[in-house]
Amino acid sequence: MNAVEIKNLSKNFGSKQAVCGLDMTVPMGSIYGFIGENGSGKSTTEKMICGLIPTSGGSIKLYGKDYTDESVRAKMGVLIESPGCFPGLTVFDNMMLQAANLSIPDAEKEVIKVLKTVRMEGAAGNKYKNCSLGMKQRVGIAMALLGNPTLLVLDEPLNGLDADGMRIMREVFCNVVKDGTRSIIVSSHLLGELQKVATHYGIIRHGKMIVEMTADDLDASCRTYVALQAEEMNRTKMLLGYKYSRVEEDEAGYLRVYDLTTPEEIVTYLYENSICVTEIKTDKIGLEEYYIDLMKEGK
């Protein structure tokens, strides 16, 4: 059984088709990185999963049940676009409202526990409108975590978080899925951060799922490259360009050789051409580069 199973989902806003024929599978116990450009249909899909906008076609199943099933929906946590708090109320009052909404028995204790998880217990008495962007985001995640949800749908949860906040969220996400039954769908443009936690990925474009894969699949499909620094970088680049089909300079000033080769082969080749290599390493492209490459291919 999968946590989320979407078949042929579509959504039209008038004549504009926001999502068309989308298939998506989120296995139980996974952290599903949902990636796509702005306006690709991520948020619309997430809103349909949460039942916030009606679908135009297709089916959504959550834990084997229709997405309109109230028992499954009662065990969902959500953070879409904004945390959904009343500005005039305190963080604690907002949390207590959501606890009442979820019929949590020992609400006060649960609220304090969740606020502690996101390190916001000290700001519980602050009015929500006086919180910073990062604090609001933490409150939003805390609200989503209330009541031990089985499925979390988080849209850009890492926006506005500082380094510590991101580390905490990584911990939180990993703890949530630890038991193997609870799942998280998380969309983010911070692909580097997403790669640190995601176990599965789905890449959407123009409302269609273009690829779904596991983190292992991504690892296997990410091309390896040799990165090096040498004396006379321009000449080195020129020489490498004669022998290898793709040589690029990265932001850190390294020359990257993408063809299948070994560092030894490159060092020997450059040495024969009187160039001394000062640093050399092999690496793999990350999610971000994989995604950019995929988007370029699509174009």
Helix residue ranges, H only, 188-284: 191-197, 215-221, 233-243, 263-272
By beta-carbon proximity to other proteins, the closer residue of 11 and 256 is: 11
Helix axes 133-145, 107-117, angle to 10 degrees: 130
Stretch that binds other proteins, among 84-92, 187-195, 235-243, 254-262 (CB under 8 A): 84-92
By beta-carbon proximity to other proteins, the closer residue of 75 and 284 is: 75
Residue 28 found at the interface with other proteins (CB under 8 A): yes
Per CB under 8 A, the list member of 97, 112, 190, 233 interacting with other proteins is 97
Rounded Cα distance, 63 and 181, in Å = 10
Residue 138 found at the interface with other proteins (CB under 8 A): no
Going residue by residue from 139 to 178, which x/- string records binding to other proteins, judged by CB under 8 A? ----x------x--x-------------------------
CB of 179 to other proteins, least distance (A): 8
Q: Which residue in the block uniquely carries the two structure tokens 């207590």? A: 96
Residue 54 found at the interface with other proteins (CB under 8 A): yes
CB of 107 to other proteins, least distance (A): 10
Residue 236 found at the interface with other proteins (CB under 8 A): no
Going residue by residue from 34 to 53, which x/- string records binding to other proteins, judged by CB under 8 A? -------------x--xxxx
By beta-carbon proximity to other proteins, the closer residue of 74 and 238 is: 74
Closest CA to 91 of 119, 116, 120, 134: 120
Q: For the segment 56-75, give every residue that binds other proteins (CB under 8 A).
A: 63, 65, 68-75
Is the Cβ–Cβ distance between 35 and 185 less than 8 Å? no
Compute and round to an integer the Cα radius of gyration of the chain.
Answer: 23
Rounded Cα distance, 34 and 200, in Å = 9
The DSSP annotation for 148-210 comes to --SEEEEESTTTT--HHHHHHHHHHHHHHHTTSS-EEEEE-S-HHHHHHH-SEEEEEETTEEE
CB of 76 to other proteins, least distance (A): 5
CB of 56 to other proteins, least distance (A): 12
Per CB under 8 A, the list member of 80, 91, 209, 285 interacting with other proteins is 80
Stretch that binds other proteins, among 94-102, 113-121, 223-231, 244-252 (CB under 8 A): 94-102
User: Which residues in 194-213 are b (16+ Cβ under 10 Å) and which e?
Assistant: bbebbbbbbbbbebbbbbbe
> Cβ atoms within 10 A of the Cβ of 215, count?
17
Residue 82 found at the interface with other proteins (CB under 8 A): yes
Is the Cβ–Cβ distance between 26 and 200 less than 8 Å? yes
Rounded Cα distance, 52 and 195, in Å = 28
Which stretches of the chain bind other proteins, using CB under 8 A? 1, 28-29, 47, 50-54, 63, 65, 68-78, 80-89, 93, 96-98, 100-103, 143, 150, 153, 179-181
